[in-house]
Amino acid sequence: MVQPVPVEAPAAPAKPFSTLQKMRHQFVPGAPACIADVQNTKVSLVRSALPIKEELQALFPTLLAGGAEGMQQLEIKVDQENGRILRSDTPVRIGCVLSGGQAAGGHNVIMGLYDMAKQLHPESRLFGFLAGPHGIFSNNYMEIDSDYMGLYRNTGGFDMIRSGRHKIETPE
């Protein structure tokens, strides 16, 4: 079994945020109309077993603990007539990884995942695999909490968990 690699979050900025940086942190980007008003949009949450190939279970025993029965996918369907406000009865655990070259909106993608996970259930947790796919196969990850998210909110870039161009191509 691969043991997690201890990871320290980057240090807080040496100087306080500028007025412009503070304003950027307060910006709320737009969202698709179907989920823009998450406080009032009624949806149906459909959980189902995530189909996982048997050979992957052997390659990722800690990541896929419990096999196909343990891993679930969550589908969110807008259903104003029969649905309920977007919530989960239990906390969700979400892992994210950035792969490929740099792009302008990486931090905002992570921010969207973080904010939506907390909307689903306040005790939900978001984990970032560090340095791209290499973080997955080396079990190098960190939990993204509100303080850490606050350092990168609306800042663009991929520094938060970094990206990588590694590929998962062989059993090793």
pLDDT at 83 over 50: yes
pLDDT at 1 over 50: no
In the block, residue with structure tokens 């990871």: 7
> What would the mean pLDDT of 5-20 be, rounded to a whole number?
63
Identity of the highest mean pLDDT range in 43-57, 83-97, 117-131: 117-131
Domain 87-166 indexed as CATH 3.10.450.30: no
Residue 50: closest CA among 72, 76, 65, 67:
72
Pairing of strands 93-96, 125-129: parallel
Question: In angstroms, what CA-CA distances link 90 with 63, 79, 120?
Answer: 20, 20, 9
pTM over 0.75: no
Instruction: Please give the share of the chain, as a percent, with pLDDT higher than 70.
Output: 78
The rounded distance, in Å, linking the Cα atoms of 62 and 59 is 9
pLDDT band at 70 (very low <50, low <70, confident <90, very high): low
Q: Where in the chain is the domain with CATH 3.40.50.450?
A: 87-166
> What would the mean pLDDT of 125-147 be, rounded to a whole number?
92
